Amino acid sequence: MPKKPLVIFTDLDGSLLDHNTYSHEAANDAMRIIEERKIPLIFNTSKTLAELLELRFRLNNKHPFVIENGSAVVIPPDYFEEVYTTWPQKVESIQGYQVIHFGLTYSQLLLKIHSIRNQLKFPFVGFSDMDVAGVQQHTGLSAHDAKLAKQRLCSEPILWQGSSVLFDQFQRCLVNEGLRVLKGGRFYHILGPVDKRMGVYWLKDHYHEQYYKSPVTTVSLGDGNNDRGMLEATDYAVVIPPENGIPLELSHFNQVIYATKKGPAGWQQGLEQIFGKTGIS
């Protein structure tokens, strides 16, 4: 048995879920061990609350999760004895779940973004400008999934329609307003001064103080640059090769495993090594 309880944080698309099929079949053996050992498996993703509620139901996951690239942590009803926050974190209740915001709310974010656009006429459209059909057109999602993706709480994907020089100017304006930009495959994601590590730190403290009443060992798995903060915040990290491009290189002092397989097969490969190191079988 491990000396300390494990808590596992994972990216979804391209990590636990196959980049093309969204299947997790290749990771089912590790998933079974996680469920049998009652190890908290925390989804830490760019997806929205609405998307995660549906996906968690499909995967039978009942643990907290982190949404929109670290912008907020979502806690199921009665999961922790007490949820404590510090200023300026904002807490709201949605469908019985407690949502702890680390950055701006969606309305606060849009106010800043649209003010910058209106003043300087930057050429972009965001999810807030599109109807469901528009999101479908630009993402390839079904109408149902596009509707879930539009239900945002803390970040705004935008489609840039100008030059790279103009984008650099736009990005400087965002930074001056305390905002961050993450590059995705097709969209840029604008969010507050947050990343995926914030949910790791917050939940690690709560598992220590409120759940296990003892220190925990943290593990993270991811394949993208937006996962770097999460991977560098845990005791063990599994870097999964991306579908396209060069795998991340981590420079932090924690123990890093570089999977050689992509997607859920790499997820399984990495966790097999983690389980060996921590005495889980």
What distance in Å separates the CA atoms of residue 56 and residue 44, rounded to the nearest whole number? Answer: 12
Percent of the chain with pLDDT over 70: 98
pLDDT at 186: 82
What distance in Å separates the CA atoms of residue 215 and residue 172, rounded to the nearest whole number? Answer: 40
pLDDT at 87: 63
Number of Cβ atoms within 10 Å of the Cβ of 58? 8
Per-residue pLDDT at 86 exceeds 80: no
Per-residue pLDDT at 73 exceeds 90: yes
pLDDT at 124: 97
The domain limits of the chain are: 6-103+216-278, 106-191
pLDDT at 18: 94
Per-residue pLDDT at 104 exceeds 80: yes
pLDDT at 1: 43
The model's pTM? 0.94
pLDDT digits (tens, 9 = 90+) for 253-266: 679 999 999 999 99
What distance in Å separates the CA atoms of residue 33 and residue 23, rounded to the nearest whole number? Answer: 18
Whether 261 and 27 have beta carbons less than 8 Å apart is answered as: no
pLDDT digits (tens, 9 = 90+) for 25-64: 999 999 999 999 999 999 999 999 999 999 999 999 999 9
Q: Confidence class of residue 252 from pLDDT cuts 50, 70 and 90?
A: low
CATH class of 6-103+216-278: alpha beta
CATH class of 106-191: alpha beta
Per-residue pLDDT at 185 exceeds 80: no
227 is catalytic: no
* Residue 244 CB-density burial (10 A; 0-12 exposed, 13-18 middle, 19+ buried): exposed
- Catalytic site residue from 11, 195, 227, 235: 11
3-state secondary structure of 8: strand
Q: Can you tell me the mean pLDDT for 227-233? A: 95
Q: Confidence class of residue 203 from pLDDT cuts 50, 70 and 90?
A: very high
Q: Can you tell me the mean pLDDT for 219-232? A: 94
pLDDT at 214: 87
Per-residue pLDDT at 11 exceeds 80: yes
Sequence-distant (≥ 6) Cβ neighbours of residue 150 within 8 angstroms:
127, 130, 132, 135
Average pLDDT of the chain, as a whole number: 94
Which residue did the predictor score with more confidence, 6 or 243? 6
Q: Confidence class of residue 88 from pLDDT cuts 50, 70 and 90?
A: low
Q: Which of 76-80, 126-130, 187-191, 241-245 has the lowest mean pLDDT?
A: 241-245
